[in-house]
Structure 1
Amino acid sequence: MSKYMGLDQAMMERYAPRPGRKALLPELSEQAKVALMCRMLFREGWNEHIAGHITYRLANGNILTNPWELAWDELTASDIVTLDHQGNVIEGEWNVTPAIGLHIQLHALRPDTNVVIHNHAHWSGIWANMQRVPPVYDQTGAHCGVDLPLYDEYAGTFENEATSLSAAEALGDSKWALLANHGALVVGKDLRQAHLRVITLEWRCKRAYEVELAGGGVPLDDAVVEKIGITDANGFPFCWEAMARRELRADPSIIE
């Protein structure tokens, strides 16, 4: 399944490689997928030193996450920590930041959400700090639709349980959010879907910032965004694998 991670059966059959073609990816452990996701998103600008967490809830209820002590661009599969549903470390050699509470609360509030990603990202962070929602200017920025809530009741870091719970509740059923004067938050049913949402958010924010610096432009109408966007139930076919291969070419030890 790893070579078509997250694709439904119909799409797998439609887009299966022809006989004799190589697999898109080697077989990957769940820990390797999380490590690859960290590397991939680091490259997208989700790279604020050692800040940020990716949590990935498994079918048994346990949660995989990156450790506090390591930056996203140095992680390997063996570094990934396993938590129980309350956020206690049950396997791994590292620690997790107390800010993991935001993720644990979101997993509890949203049964549909198996992946939660938070960081103080580059381009989305600019718009969060401006407390503005970036317009959509192109097809890539439209991949995941128009709605992008701005949570503007920042009252401190997410080590505080009440603060993180209010942010989790404010997200409602949204797929992502800008956290004013803080960063960005993305959720998804699986890694593929969450990956598309992160890269779409960063692209949308980057292009909007560049257009604004150039003197402005004409955003796409909401109806056009909905028409040309990708239905992201299964993410962007083959994009996750392509970005994973890029990281594996640079450092094959990620999956060890």
Structure 2
Amino acid sequence: MAALLLRAAVGGTMVAHGVKHARSLEGTAGWFGSLGFRHPRLQARAGAAVERVLAAAGERLSAPDRGSDRLNMIIFMCDAARRDLGEYRPQPVPLGGRSPVLARTSTPPDRSPETSYAPLDGPGIGCELSPAQEFALFARMLSRLGYDDGLAGHITYQQPDGTFLVNPFLIPWDQLRASDVCVCDPSGTQTAGRYRINSATELHFAFHRVRSTRVIVHNHPKWSTAWSAMRRLPPVYDQSSALASGRLVLVDEYTGTVEQQEAAEQVIAAMGDAEMAILANHGVLIIADSLPELLTRARVLEVRSHNAWHVEAMGPGGRTLPDDMVARLGRGLEKVGGAFPGYFEAMARHEIAADRSVLD
């Protein structure tokens, strides 16, 4: 068994660096426990074996070429050792654990004897979330991306039973908790929640009735709103500004004094089949079929607006990406569900680490 334990430790400086990095998070033996070594004594023996490699490696650990692939390598070796010992069982780190970034939500891919290295799946969020917790995290993610105009803005998230989760009016998005999230019936009537919703959310309910979409966000992010005042769509000057599926249009909603329902119908008609709109002299409206897809669109729209502003502020000479390249990048996102892979999960881990009360 000692030889098998050392399989998790051999590999020279690459393996040693991976464990040294992990040890700074929660201790070597405990880290082996998070990777699936169930028995405490087995954790301790594995940790001790690696400590010996660390000691032998010495100064080589400070080599400038070390990187994250070292950590992947030691996890792979640990998987091999656990399989030989009959100890393999993926164990996501609980929410209260110190290393949610190491939590796994799915079984690693099969590794044949001929395969020397295979990457693991992404770390996921590290815990199961209720729809209300997803919603609260999503609101905080958007706020961090610049969708943070005080108390303004609305989010609707349709559930499988036809009801909607909605943000309350008087709580800023960066303070929202799961227990603050409101519920509305399919008609848009509020049925649950301590605080009332914004009456202007009627635009969302009207949109949901006309188009089959699960998530709608409206807010006034700084850079996109600047372009709304210019009544222009921001040009796509760089790759990051093109990494979103869906079409962006300009909507001039201020055609006269109208009632709320009429204004909603005008915006819906003007958007057509587009998924994103810059509302002239107002803000943005974005729709999507999932929270991760909408998060990607929201981020990329604001990045596009921000970068375009800076390019044009530098004066003439900026060159936009060719239309065919923009379309190709967008289609690439569509093939993976419209969301940049792993981005929602990474942002969720960040928000939970920053303030775990978001889940309360």
Structure 2 length as normaliser, TM-score?
0.64
Name the amino acid aligned to 1:176. Answer: M
Name the amino acid aligned to 1:177. Answer: A
User: Counterparts of 1:26 and 1:13 in 2: how far apart (Å)?
Assistant: 15
User: Counterparts of 1:85 and 1:158 in 2: how far apart (Å)?
Assistant: 25
User: Counterparts of 2:325 and 2:204 in 1: how far apart (Å)?
Assistant: 33
Contact 2:246 2:275 in 1 (8 A): no
In structure 2, the partner of 1:85 is: 186
Contact 1:55 1:117 in 2 (8 A): yes
1:214 matches 2:314: yes
Of 220, 223, 246, 2:350 maps to 246
Give the direction of change, closer, same or farther, for the CA distance of 1:211–1:81 in structure 2 (3 Å limit). Answer: same
Question: Which structure shows the higher helix fraction?
Answer: 2
What is the Cα deviation at residue 155 of structure 1?
4.4
In structure 1, the partner of 2:211 is: 110
What is the Cα deviation at residue 59 of structure 1?
0.5
Of 224, 233, 240, 2:325 maps to 224
What is the Cα deviation at residue 166 of structure 1?
1.2
Of 57, 65, 77, 2:158 maps to 57
User: Counterparts of 1:159 and 1:141 in 2: how far apart (Å)?
Assistant: 35
User: Counterparts of 2:109 and 2:268 in 1: how far apart (Å)?
Assistant: 37
| More RCO (CA 8 Å, sep 6+) | 1
What is the Cα deviation at residue 204 of structure 1?
0.4
What is the Cα deviation at residue 151 of structure 1?
0.3
In structure 1, the partner of 2:202 is: 101
User: Counterparts of 2:258 and 2:324 in 1: how far apart (Å)?
Assistant: 36
Of 251, 259, 264, 1:151 maps to 251
What is the Cα deviation at residue 176 of structure 1?
0.4
1:59 aligned counterpart, secondary structure: coil
Name the amino acid aligned to 1:255. Answer: L
Structure 1 length as normaliser, TM-score?
0.88
Deviations 1:8-30 (A, max 9, x none): xxxx88989849x8653311110
User: Counterparts of 1:73 and 1:234 in 2: how far apart (Å)?
Assistant: 25
Identity over aligned residues, as a percent? Answer: 39
Contact 2:244 2:329 in 1 (8 A): no
Name the amino acid aligned to 2:277. Answer: A
Q: Segments of 4+ in structure 1 off by > 4 A? A: 12-17, 155-159
Contact 2:184 2:190 in 1 (8 A): yes
Contact 2:240 2:304 in 1 (8 A): yes
In structure 2, the partner of 1:44 is: 145
**What value does the CA root-mean-square deviation take over the aligned residues?**
2.4
Deviations 1:207-242 (A, max 9, x none): 000101111410011101122344232411100011
After superposition, residues 117-196 of structure 1 pair within 5 angstroms as 117-144=217-244, 147-155=247-255, 160-196=260-296
Q: Report the more deviating stretch, 26-35 or 165-174.
A: 165-174
User: Counterparts of 1:23 and 1:218 in 2: how far apart (Å)?
Assistant: 37
Contact 2:253 2:263 in 1 (8 A): no
Give the direction of change, closer, same or farther, for the CA distance of 1:86–1:146 in structure 2 (3 Å limit). Answer: closer
Give the direction of change, closer, same or farther, for the CA distance of 1:197–1:157 in structure 2 (3 Å limit). Answer: farther
Give the direction of change, closer, same or farther, for the CA distance of 1:23–1:149 in structure 2 (3 Å limit). Answer: closer
In structure 2, the partner of 1:8 is: none
What is the Cα deviation at residue 147 of structure 1?
3.8
